Amino acid sequence: MSEIKKNTDGQGVLVTVAGTDGAAKTSGVSFYVSKDNGSQAAAGGTAAHRGNGQWYYPFTQAETNADLIGLSWAGTDVVPGGVSLYTTTKRVQELNDLSQANAQTAAADALTAAALATADQLNTAVAALQAFIEDLQFNTRVDIVLPRVMERPDTGEGALAYKVWVNLYDSTGDMEAPDSTPTVAAANQTGTSRDANLGVVTLEGTGRYSFTYTVDDSHAMEQITLTVTVVEGGQTRVYNRATIVMDTTAVDFTTADRTKLNAIHNKLPTADYLLGTSQDDGSGYSSFNPATDTVARVTLVDQCTANDDMRGTDNAYAGTPPTAVEIRQEIDLNSTKTGYQLAITGLDLIPLQRPTGKATTFVGAFGQFFYRFFGKSTLNSETGELITYQGDGVTVATTQLTTEAGGVQTQGEAT
């Protein structure tokens, strides 16, 4: 592959071009150039055929002013092709011109330029580094203490003032006084100012300040961000801390809540019925012991061997209980009533049943009679098959075969 020097005229590349018939292409070839993976453009140089399909393309200087050059060719009956060439700022032959003497001279010049720093220069660098480290330590000297949640009082309880502390320390951890009293601003999550709720920043001691944030029963439940600005050593730094205003009812368990809970507890069953807090060891209950297969505090009942073993003694029936047949006979004998008549809408209380097969009950038979004439049915004139259908009009309910002989039609039994 050719070696191309970047942004240099008088360079070219040799490529071989074939036609679509497989023969060498000696004419009708167009060349295109793309630089650094950009769009193609018609080649600016004039390509020349050298023989047997070999072409030489000379790049213009502008076409070599790229890190990556793409040369492609096309044409009528031409097999398209292309090559990619990376440019360099130094050719290998130019690098080979660096003699041993030149190398030694260059090395000596580099060592002279990199002379060691003096003691004064080192002291200056150390002082600058120490100042930089102190600046970094300053970023950790401010501590802001505020409530994680500020409760909004219930209506009529009055405003609540929450105290916030700002403490400043030096690099050794001792309290440190700033250049001036820190300033404080407050805003909610949408950026609306809440400065009206802030108290005065008060000096409590060296490097110790406090202020209050007041929450009234009319305030919204929202996030509050406090912005504290501290100036020390002429440097201004800003610190943010966030808290939340919550409704006091949402976080407090009040005396009224306890009264309601006790009322619920007092409605629970006593120890005679349910295991409760007064007898949490289970004493006094009929507990089952799976190891002995017994129930505590339950008198054992002997096995019943006769019908009268389970009868009571208080005027209980002592005879043999009647059988089901005897009970039915008694009902039939004593259930005959006269002088009654069915109401005009009495039968309407009996739902009409759609037949799904040959009826076996009175209600079913009545429904089958009705739907025989008012439901869907088909009679095959060729086979004589009469079919009635269920409610969907597709599923067969019954099938009957009809025949005719001597002018008499016969309808067979339904199945």
Interval 57-93: pLDDT, tens: 999 999 999 999 999 999 999 999 999 999 998 766 6
- Where is the domain boundary, 251, 282, 316? 251
The SS3 assignment for 187 reads: strand
- Where is the domain boundary, 235, 251, 267? 251
> Looking at the domain assignment, is residue 120 inside a domain?
no
Question: What pLDDT does residue 275 have?
Answer: 45
CATH number for the domain that contains residue 62: 2.60.40
Q: Are residues 83 and 169 in the same domain?
A: no
Q: Point out which residues pair with 236 in neighbouring strands.
A: 231
Question: What pLDDT does residue 212 have?
Answer: 97
- Mean pLDDT for each consecutive 10-residue tract of the chain (415 residues)? 84 95 95 96 96 96 96 96 90 59 70 69 84 59 92 88 94 90 96 97 96 94 96 92 85 79 82 47 58 68 57 63 85 72 78 85 85 87 89 90 88 88
Q: Which of 340, 337, 364, 343 is nearest to 352 (CA)?
A: 364
Q: What is the DSSP letter of 378?
A: E
Question: What pLDDT does residue 180 have?
Answer: 95
Question: What pLDDT does residue 286 have?
Answer: 58
Question: What pLDDT does residue 328 have?
Answer: 80
Q: Are residues 73 and 154 in the same domain?
A: no
> Looking at the domain assignment, is residue 202 inside a domain?
yes
In degrees, to the nearest 5, what angle opens at C-alpha 184 toward C-alphas 160 and 207? 100
Instruction: List phi, psi (to 5°) of 200.
Output: -80, 135
Structure tokens at 62: 């502008």
> Looking at the domain assignment, is residue 235 inside a domain?
yes
Q: Are residues 87 and 148 in the same domain?
A: no
Structure tokens at 293: 């297969």
CATH number for the domain that contains residue 195: 2.60.40.10
Other Cβ atoms less than 10 A from the Cβ of 151: the count is 19
Q: Which domain holds residue 162?
A: 142-251
User: pTM of the prediction?
Assistant: 0.34
For the chain, how many structural domains are there in total?
3
Structure tokens at 368: 């089958």
Give the separation between CA 118 and CA 297, rounded to whole angstroms: 101
Q: Which of 36, 45, 50 is nearest to 11 (CA)?
A: 45
> Looking at the domain assignment, is residue 221 inside a domain?
yes
Q: Which of 186, 209, 199, 197 is nearest to 152 (CA)?
A: 197
Structure tokens at 357: 């097969």
> Looking at the domain assignment, is residue 193 inside a domain?
yes
Q: Which of 286, 282, 225, 215 is nearest to 246 (CA)?
A: 215
> Looking at the domain assignment, is residue 399 inside a domain?
yes
Per-residue pLDDT tens for 137-186? Answer: 555 589 999 999 999 988 888 899 999 999 999 878 899 999 999 999 99
Question: What pLDDT does residue 273 have?
Answer: 46
Q: Are residues 157 and 69 in the same domain?
A: no
- Where is the domain boundary, 232, 251, 270? 251
Question: What pLDDT does residue 334 have?
Answer: 75
Q: Are residues 74 and 12 in the same domain?
A: yes
Q: Are residues 242 and 154 in the same domain?
A: yes
Q: Which of 146, 150, 157, 145 is nearest to 251 (CA)?
A: 150
Structure tokens at 139: 């970023």
Q: Are residues 179 and 241 in the same domain?
A: yes
Q: Largest Cα–Cα distance of the chain, in whole Å?
A: 145
CA 323 to chain centre: 68
Q: Are residues 214 and 146 in the same domain?
A: yes
Q: Are residues 149 and 240 in the same domain?
A: yes
> Looking at the domain assignment, is residue 289 inside a domain?
no
Beta carbons of 67 and 36 less than 8 angstroms apart: yes
Give the separation between CA 254 and CA 153, rounded to whole angstroms: 12
Q: What is the DSSP letter of 308?
A: G
Positive or negative, the CA dihedral 22, 26, 29, 31 is positive
Q: Are residues 238 and 152 in the same domain?
A: yes
Q: Are residues 84 and 171 in the same domain?
A: no
> Looking at the domain assignment, is residue 326 inside a domain?
no
Residues contacting residue 11 through CB under 8 Å, at least 6 positions apart = 2, 4, 5, 58, 59, 64
